[in-house]
Structure 1
Amino acid sequence: MKNNKTVIIAEAGVNHNGSLQNAYKLIDVAANCKADYIKFQIVDASVISTNAKKAKYQIDKKNKTESQFSMIKKLEMNWFKIHPLLIKKCKKKNIRFLTSIFDTGWINEIKKLNLDYIKIPSGEINNYPLLKSVANLNKKVLLSTGASKILEIKDAIDFLFKNGLKKKILL
């Protein structure tokens, strides 16, 4: 990202609802809006307790008893297969691809994608095993801080650098 230009990141997140076609549509919309990047999230129900409850904002009026696990399970895609397809579509539409990573199990996949930035969500700023794995990749980092206190941000930055990160961190 250049210092003299505001960079727009379109948040696709999980709004694809588990559908590759929806993901393609999100890329089309973001590119048509002239966003510089589009960011998805790797959703992996295997790291969620089957008893986890949804946050208040996630509760669907039609299905109030659905668990967090069940909801996330519906959003999963075969990311090993899907990432290259999304990246190809992004290149065709002249928009860059990003994805948020929530756990260390996806580090090798992210490494293979050779992305401009490794995106760490704000909820993972204290996930030191993840931060250590990201630092070892030695790629530029986008560190979200929305849910964080100043000390947590400082600690995460210090930890990344102490664990081998030599690239810049954008907050």
Structure 2
Amino acid sequence: MRSVQIGDRLVGPGHPVFVLAEIGINHNGDLDLARRLIESAAESRCDAVKFQKRTVEAVYTLQELTQPRESPFGTTNGDLKRGLEFDHKEYAEIDRVCRALDIAWFASCWDERSVDFIETFDPPCYKIASASLTDDSLLRHCRGTGRPIILSTGMSSIEQIDHAVEVLGRDNLILMHCTSTYPSSLEELNLRVIQSLMERYDVPVGYSGHEVGLSTTLAAVVLGACVIERHITLDRAMWGSDQAASVEPHGMARLVKDIRAVEIAMGDDVKRVYESEVPIMRKLRRIST
């Protein structure tokens, strides 16, 4: 199975798990909050942070945008969607902060114009959201940048994933097993799919989790996930649709620490007697003659 180069990191079997803190829209349109989330991810020793970028008028119909929806930004769905979008000035500051903290950043782009926008910041890769898996035009546009692609597979059939992989090709591709509910129930995580995706496509496979708790995310690492993505928040009780399915800073730090411990504990699959066991063996084992 081929590894994928993301920035200065090789991602895939035999390499450390790439831990991605999904900021997404948890910044609530507040640049200072975005800065604090980046700082929290860096302090937790995450490898990268990710945002979401949309051209609102390209992604949503006029009917969707005019639907009533109360939010801090106004009374329509359009007010909310526009209020959550950062423009060039904000992303320039995000880029500056990430560079200063030596943490990579990139985005899930929901339309071609957003890809072109993020491309100006020289991202190490692109993430394609589960909702965009069937958007062939967007898939081809992302692939046209020549950058690695991370593709989430939530709410997708295996036939739809087959087609997306055919469109994208398998070079520089990472698939992410995902269940697109916020938060996801344990009964619907289906973590064994991680291994079936690796066997079917022979590409690195990661896990994008939206469940409450961390234990199942660690189980994904044991099953072979080479990328772990969890949403990060300063407080799960904050306003916002993704906050409740997110991980607070202390939890993210614990998750990264536990992932690194699991990596060490997994070993190399060669059964051996360790030197530390020899004194115990001599003391306790009865040898038949």
Q: How does the TM-score come out when normalised to structure 1?
A: 0.83
Q: Say if 1:147 and 1:53 are closer, same or farther in 2 by CA, change over 3 A.
A: farther
Q: Distance in 2 between matches of 1:167 and 1:18?
A: 35
Q: Distance in 1 between matches of 2:50 and 2:139?
A: 19
Q: Which position in structure 1 is the counterpart of 2:11?
A: 2
Q: Which position in structure 2 is the counterpart of 1:74?
A: 83
Q: Which position in structure 2 is the counterpart of 1:157?
A: 165
> What amino acid sits opposite 1:51 in the alignment?
Q
Q: Distance in 2 between matches of 1:156 and 1:2?
A: 21
CA contact under 8 A between 2:55 and 2:113: conserved in structure 1?
no
1:170 counterpart (165, 168, 174)? 174
Residue 151 of structure 2 corresponds to residue 143 of structure 1: yes
| 1:25-65 deviations in Å (ceiling 9; x for gaps) | 110111111111101111332222243279xxxx76x89x9
3-state SS in 2 of match to 1:113: coil
How does 1:80-91 map onto structure 2 within 5 Å? Answer: 80-91=88-99
Q: Distance in 1 between matches of 2:76 and 2:156?
A: 26
Q: Distance in 2 between matches of 1:45 and 1:146?
A: 22
Q: Which position in structure 2 is the counterpart of 1:119?
A: 127
> What amino acid sits opposite 2:20 in the alignment?
I
Relative contact order: is structure 1 or structure 2 higher (C-alpha 8 Å, sep ≥ 6)? Answer: 2
3-state SS in 1 of match to 2:166: helix
Structure 2 residue runs of 5 or longer lacking an equivalent are: 1-9, 176-289
Residue 23 of structure 2 corresponds to residue 19 of structure 1: no
Q: Which position in structure 2 is the counterpart of 1:95?
A: 103
What is the deviation of 1:104? 0.8
Q: Cα RMSD over matched residues?
A: 2.3
Q: Report how many aligned residue pairs link the two structures.
A: 160
3-state SS in 2 of match to 1:119: strand
Q: Which position in structure 1 is the counterpart of 2:61?
A: 49
Q: Distance in 2 between matches of 1:144 and 1:19?
A: 26
| 1:133-171 deviations in Å (ceiling 9; x for gaps) | 11211110011112211111110110123xxxx841001
> What amino acid sits opposite 1:156 in the alignment?
A
> What amino acid sits opposite 2:53 in the alignment?
I
Q: Distance in 2 between matches of 1:51 and 1:26?
A: 33
What is the deviation of 1:66? 4.2
What is the deviation of 1:10? 0.4
Q: Say if 1:53 and 1:76 are closer, same or farther in 2 by CA, change over 3 A.
A: closer
Where has structure 1 moved over 6 Å in runs of 4 or more?
none
Structure 1 residue runs of 5 or longer lacking an equivalent are: none
| 1:87-106 deviations in Å (ceiling 9; x for gaps) | 22112112110111000112
CA contact under 8 A between 1:101 and 1:120: conserved in structure 2?
yes
Q: Distance in 2 between matches of 1:167 and 1:92?
A: 31
Q: Distance in 2 between matches of 1:110 and 1:102?
A: 11
Q: How does the TM-score come out when normalised to structure 2?
A: 0.51
| 1:110-147 deviations in Å (ceiling 9; x for gaps) | 32222111111010001111111112111100111122
